[in-house]
Structure 1
Amino acid sequence: MMYLEDMEVGAETDFGHYDVTREEVLEFARKYDPQPFHLSDEEAAKTHFGRIAASGWHTAGMTMATIVDYLDRHPQAGLGSPGVDDLRWVKPVYPGDRIHVRGKIVEVRPSRSKPDIGSIRTETTVTNQDDQVVMRYTSIVLMRRRPKPD
């Protein structure tokens, strides 16, 4: 188990990749972002996307699934996240793409008011199979501090 004290500014993590399927893009769009360019080849062709593109929110969801899969294999004492900063969808994600998720710790901070926890800030970058950035954001994660021995 990794605790706040194990986190170092500058440390980088390759969380892995996620293969984007047409079926998932359509299913997500139907449920959560039913804009025509996420649902119809004809409508998407009329836009700057040129073809059906994944919702940015779907890209965020696929990114989170990739991170959680990594954390299942590399446990950390995480306590959730109060949010993200500077979320940007830089390029469209298309069915057939493979997205890669990487993170770099930019801040580690013990809590002033709760001595058993702290937070880390991580710059998260998502690229496609051509190493083009498709999404980036800074996450804030709350973490437990290492328990003190009795």
Structure 2
Amino acid sequence: MRYFDDFAAGDRFTGGPLEVTSAEIMAYAERFDPQPFHLDPEAARETLFKGLAASGWHTAGLTMRMIVGSTAGLAGGYIGMGVDSINWPRPTRPGDVLRIEMEVIEARRSVKRPDQGVLKVTTTTLNQKDEVVQVMTANLLAPARPA
């Protein structure tokens, strides 16, 4: 496991792969984002997406799953302090095989709590064609190495 002290700006990590199925897209949509382009392949053809597409929030959840299993190995878990930005430049589709690339943008020790630091990380989610389906920049709380 890595502690705050083990990270520096420019460090890169990877995660995945994770395959996305139609059933998963529709199940997520049924519960959390019930729109035709997420729920019904036939109806989705008549929408902006021209076919079934995962909710952006589903893609974000899949990304989180890959972050947890990534090569970063953050001690104490991935505790989010906030998301600066999240973008979905193209939809996630059934059959996509996703992977992530993470880059530490900034590592700053907490002034109030020197036993912790904040990592600003940009995570790019790509499909099997190396097309970007999501870019997220978030701040993570990271414990410092125990004395």
Question: Normalising by the residue count of structure 2, what TM-score does the alignment of the two structures yield?
Answer: 0.94
Deviation >3 Å, runs of 4+: none
Is 1:128 paired with 2:121?
A: no
Percent identical among aligned pairs is 40
SS of aligned partner of 1:138 = strand
Q: Which amino acid aligns with 1:69?
A: G
Distance (Å, rounded) in 2 between the aligned partners of 1:28 and 1:60: 12
SS of aligned partner of 1:54 = coil
Alignment check: 8 A CA contact 2:3 2:74 kept: no
Question: Normalising by the residue count of structure 1, what TM-score does the alignment of the two structures yield?
Answer: 0.92
Is 1:31 paired with 2:28?
A: no
Alignment check: 8 A CA contact 1:25 1:55 kept: yes
The structural deviation recorded for 1:75 is 5.0
SS of aligned partner of 1:99 = strand
The structural deviation recorded for 1:47 is 1.4
The match for 2:107 is 108
The match for 1:59 is 59
Distance (Å, rounded) in 2 between the aligned partners of 1:56 and 1:113: 35
Distance (Å, rounded) in 2 between the aligned partners of 1:115 and 1:102: 28
Alignment check: 8 A CA contact 1:78 1:144 kept: no
- 1:48-99 Cα deviation digits (max 9, x unpaired): 211110000000011111111236x935234611111110011001110011
SS of aligned partner of 1:64 = helix
The match for 2:48 is 48
The match for 1:70 is 70
- 1:11-66 Cα deviation digits (max 9, x unpaired): 11011221001111010000000001111122211112111100000000111111
Distance (Å, rounded) in 2 between the aligned partners of 1:59 and 1:75: 21
Unaligned runs of 5+ in 2: none
Is 1:97 paired with 2:96?
A: yes
